[in-house]
Amino acid sequence: MSKLFDKIQGQDRPLKILKRAIESNRIPTAYLFTGPPGCGRKMAAIAMAASLNCETGGLACEVCSSCKQHTSGTHLDLHITEPAPGKTGILLDQIKSVIGKAILMPMQGKFSVFVVDGAHTMNMEAANTFLKTLEEPPATSRFILIAPDKDSVLPTISSRCQTLSFSPLGRNIVRKLLEREGIVGERAELLSSMARGSMERALTYQSEEVPEKLANEFEPLASLHKSDHKKLLDLAERWGRNREEALGILDFMVQWYRDMMILSLEGPEDQVIHISHLPELQEGATALKAGSLSAILEAIEDARDDLNKNTNVELTLDRLLLTIRSYAPVQPI
3 lines the binding site for Zn ion (CB under 5 A): no
- Name the residue type at position 207: S
- Strand extents, DSSP E, 66-172: 78-81, 112-117, 141-147, 162-165
Contact range with Zn ion by CB under 5 A, out of 52-60, 83-91, 235-243, 309-317? 52-60
Separation of alpha carbons 98 and 103, rounded Å = 9
Size of the site for Zn ion (CB under 5 A): 4
Nearer to Zn ion, 55 or 244 (CB): 55
78 lines the binding site for Zn ion (CB under 5 A): no
Q: How far is the CB of 178 from Zn ion (least distance, A)?
A: 28
113 lines the binding site for Zn ion (CB under 5 A): no
Separation of alpha carbons 217 and 234, rounded Å = 13
Give, in degrees to the nearest 5, the angle at Cα 206 between 316 and 284: 50
| Cβ–Cβ < 8 Å for 76, 49 | no
Give the max Cα distance, the chain: 80
Separation of alpha carbons 42 and 116, rounded Å = 9
54 lines the binding site for Zn ion (CB under 5 A): yes
58 lines the binding site for Zn ion (CB under 5 A): no
116 lines the binding site for Zn ion (CB under 5 A): no
Q: How far is the CB of 81 from Zn ion (least distance, A)?
A: 23
| Cβ–Cβ < 8 Å for 146, 115 | yes
Residue selected from 43, 44, 47, 67 as contacting Zn ion according to rule CB under 5 A: 67
Residue selected from 15, 52, 59, 61 as contacting Zn ion according to rule CB under 5 A: 61
Nearer to Zn ion, 64 or 247 (CB): 64
Q: Dihedral of the CA atoms 228, 233, 234, 237 (nearest 10)?
A: 160
Separation of alpha carbons 149 and 32, rounded Å = 9
What residues form DSSP beta bridges with 80?
115
Nearer to Zn ion, 1 or 333 (CB): 1
Contact range with Zn ion by CB under 5 A, out of 12-20, 67-75, 254-262, 294-302? 67-75
22 lines the binding site for Zn ion (CB under 5 A): no
Separation of alpha carbons 37 and 200, rounded Å = 6
Got the DSSP string for 124-150?
Answer: HHHHHHHHHHHHS--TTEEEEEEES-G
Nearer to Zn ion, 55 or 209 (CB): 55
Nearer to Zn ion, 48 or 202 (CB): 48
127 lines the binding site for Zn ion (CB under 5 A): no
Q: How far is the CB of 102 from Zn ion (least distance, A)?
A: 23
Q: How far is the CB of 70 from Zn ion (least distance, A)?
A: 8
Contact range with Zn ion by CB under 5 A, out of 12-20, 65-73, 125-133, 217-225? 65-73
What count of other Cβ atoms lies within 10 Å of the Cβ of residue 162? 15
68 lines the binding site for Zn ion (CB under 5 A): no
Interaction site with Zn ion (CB under 5 A): 54, 61, 64, 67
